[in-house]
Amino acid sequence: MKIINFLHHTFIGDFINTESIVVDLGANDGKFAEFIRDNFNCKVYAVEPLLDLFNAIKEGEKIKKFNYCINAMGMSCMLYLEQGYCATTYKKKNNEKIESKGKTLRQFFDEADINEIDLLKIDIEGAEIEVFEKIENSIFDKINQITVEFHDFLWSELKPKIEEIKKEISSKGFYCIEFSLTNNGDVIFIRKKLITFLRYIYLKYFFRYFMGVKRKLCKILNRNHD
């Protein structure tokens, strides 16, 4: 298997080709979208609510960009700017805020005329909780892989809801694999029909620990280098 990790998002590259559709929610400045385009030459739909980051995304034949946030109600929402230049609808402790147009995942898929997705990447700073809680079953039927950064490493109180979401998605025909060892910062859901049970066991109980040890070693080496 071609197991790929980029910007802390892990996914299986075997199931992405030139005909694939990849959706990037929380596209930031477009680096993930560019990585997919450059390595798979397929279409990427990049969604980013912050205007400065949205403007930095290099749109072209393969990358289409959309300036709004995905949320559960499809309504305009307030985004609170946190440190590190990220925007969240979850925590409202920062006075710096902006308003963004909002759409549900269903509205976005209909607008972009998306019928099947080989990879859905989600990194939307805590808003993934309400999106997953309200998502329709018909949406899951369109998706083969989801790579998501849950944010319990920032807000530990989210963990119980995240565990329920993982169980719910697993019940819809997906394997759930956590590649981060101590939180849910790098989780993949992959449709069961795509990989064998033995490969699932390998990914969940062997490869993830290899990835975790590798990340810790990199952090230690980086600290020593500094």
CA separation for the pair 188, 159 (Å, rounded): 16
What letter does residue 203 receive in the DSSP assignment?
A: I
Q: Which domain holds residue 169?
A: 3-225
Among the residue ranges 13-17, 67-71, 119-123, 165-169, the one predicted with the least confidence is: 67-71
What letter does residue 103 receive in the DSSP assignment?
A: E
**Cα distances (angstroms) measured from residue 157 to each of 110, 122, 128, 130, 150:** 33, 19, 14, 14, 12
The pLDDT value recorded for residue 23 is 97
Looking at the chain, list the stretches that DSSP marks H as alpha helix, in order from N- to C-terminal side.
31-40, 51-56, 105-112, 128-134, 137-140, 159-170, 197-202, 208-225
The pLDDT value recorded for residue 87 is 56
**Cα distances (angstroms) measured from residue 85 to each of 3, 16, 65, 82, 177:** 29, 30, 19, 6, 28
**Cα distances (angstroms) measured from residue 86 to each of 31, 64, 111, 125, 151:** 15, 21, 26, 7, 12
Residue 197 has pLDDT above 60, yes or no: yes
Q: Mean pLDDT across the stretch 151-176?
A: 90
Tens of pLDDT, residues 13-22: 999 999 999 9
Residue 40 has pLDDT above 70, yes or no: yes
**Which CATH number characterizes residue 70's domain?**
3.40.50.150
Q: Mean pLDDT across the stretch 4-29?
A: 94
What pTM was computed for the model? 0.85
Number of domains within the chain: 1
DSSP letters spanning 144-182: SEEEE---TTT-GGGHHHHHHHHHHHHTTTEEEEE-SSS
Distance of CA 64 to the CA centre of its chain: 17
Q: 3-6 and 9-12: which strand pairing? A: antiparallel
Closest CA to 25 of 44, 42, 4: 44
Cβ proximity of 24 and 121 under 8 Å:
yes
